[in-house]
């Protein structure tokens, strides 16, 4: 595989042993979009094949055609809800049918092409950064804060039965982690984290639209300013306690390499910029409420991180109830983040 870009490797894995082929999907995309040219997106998914269609008839704007496995299908109501909350940052999804004879099945969606590059390509992998780089990262963090402020400002209703089912599932997974042999979970802070879980489902704590995979690959930013220009792939979206996606604040204020996790030197300033912007955008000015919301949300973030990184994934990308192997790199994420 040497010399083949990782993005093409991901596309090759998607089509391995599959019908139709990449070429056939490209032809379908051209037919649906009326485009003369297309290219794969810069950051491909593992359960979808996505192409940007350009040169459309009558000067129509560029679109993305997405071929998705059943486990990665997009729920129309969730996508509409995300669009209502976050506006232009969320593409409007249209169902374009299924691929006849596809094995395994593929559903086709179309959506407007959002400008920007992924955070994976934008955010630095260096501890120290200059003034310009820090200003760009600060711009990104402030836009991230506004995203979470919109979520908090739009609490959603969910049934008691649904909340109970979600709470029980999380408690089972946390118990599995507690019973593991990993020493990072044998601490008073871990026990406090586990005991605090029911508070996330209390009547007075907001349940909000949660992306489910708010990773560097699913956030698009302006190439020069790092302003967020889009948030994509809502296949795992659900209604959860506020903060369950907030582990992305840790993920985007440092980086992982072969030597482990590294915080940015300006991490504390970035976190301060986040919360300052968050309180302003959410219009939460009462200091007592600020303290309560932040404390509870940061606990929710740690629980969300545990669910994402301590467990193997189900076919749809959600956390299973099988722990990752002891040597998995994701334990390094958790060890670094849970210590904060």
User: Token pair 């997106």 is at which residue?
Assistant: 41
Per-residue pLDDT, 1: 54
> Topology of 117-338 in CATH?
Aminoglycoside 3'-phosphotransferase; Chain: A, domain 2 (3.90.1200)
Domain boundaries, given as residue ranges, for the chain: 6-112, 117-338
Please state the rounded mean pLDDT for residues 46-56.
95
d(CA 255, CA 214): 15
d(CA 79, CA 84): 9
Instruction: Identify which has the larger pLDDT, 247 or 7.
Output: 247
d(CA 10, CA 217): 13
pLDDT digits (tens, 9 = 90+) for 12-25: 999 999 999 999 99
The CB density around residue 32, as the number of other CB atoms within 10 Å, is: 16
User: Which architecture characterizes domain 6-112 according to CATH?
Assistant: 2-Layer Sandwich (3.30)
pTM of the model: 0.94
Please state the rounded mean pLDDT for residues 113-125.
95
pLDDT band at residue 295 using 50, 70 and 90 as cut-offs: very high
Per-residue pLDDT, 259: 83
Handedness of CA 38, 40, 42, 48 (dihedral sign): positive
Please state the rounded mean pLDDT for residues 209-224.
96
Please state the rounded mean pLDDT for residues 153-162.
95
């Amino acid at each position: 595989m040497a010399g083949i870009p990782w993005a093409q490797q991901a596309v090759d894995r998607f089509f391995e042993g599959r019908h139709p082929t990449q070429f056939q999907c490209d032809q379908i995309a051209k037919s649906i979009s009326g485009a003369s040219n297309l290219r794969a997106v810069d950051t491909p998914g593992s359960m979808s094949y996505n192409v940007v269609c350009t040169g459309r008839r009558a000067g129509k704007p560029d679109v993305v055609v997405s071929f998705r496995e059943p486990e990665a299908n997009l729920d129309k109501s969730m996508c509409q809800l995300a669009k209502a909350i976050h506006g232009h940052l969320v593409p409007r999804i249209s169902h374009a049918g299924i691929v006849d004879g596809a094995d395994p099945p593929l559903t086709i969606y179309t959506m407007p092409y959002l400008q920007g590059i992924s955070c994976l390509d934008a955010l630095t992998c260096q501890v120290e950064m200059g003034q310009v780089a820090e200003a760009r990262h600060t711009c990104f963090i402030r836009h991230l804060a506004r995203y979470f402020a919109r979520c908090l400002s739009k609490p959603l209703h969910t049934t008691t039965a649904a909340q109970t089912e979600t709470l029980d599932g999380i408690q089972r997974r946390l118990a599995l982690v507690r019973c593991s042999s990993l020493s990072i979970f044998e601490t008073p802070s871990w026990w406090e984290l586990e005991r605090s879980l029911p508070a996330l489902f209390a009547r007075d704590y907001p349940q909000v639209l949660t992306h489910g995979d708010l990773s560097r690959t699913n956030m698009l930013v302006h190439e020069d300013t790092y302003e967020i220009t889009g948030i994509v792939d809502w296949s795992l979206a659900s209604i959860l306690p506020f903060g369950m996606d907030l582990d992305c604040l840790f993920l985007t204020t440092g980086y992982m390499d072969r030597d482990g996790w590294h915080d940015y030197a300006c991490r504390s300033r970035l976190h301060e910029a986040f919360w300052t912007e968050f309180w302003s955008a959410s219009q939460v000015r009462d200091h007592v409420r600020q303290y309560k919301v932040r404390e509870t949300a940061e606990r929710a973030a740690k629980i969300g991180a545990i669910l994402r990184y301590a467990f193997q994934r189900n076919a749809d990308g959600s956390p299973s109830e099988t722990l990752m192997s002891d040597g998995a790199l994701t334990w390094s994420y958790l060890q670094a983040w849970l210590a904060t």
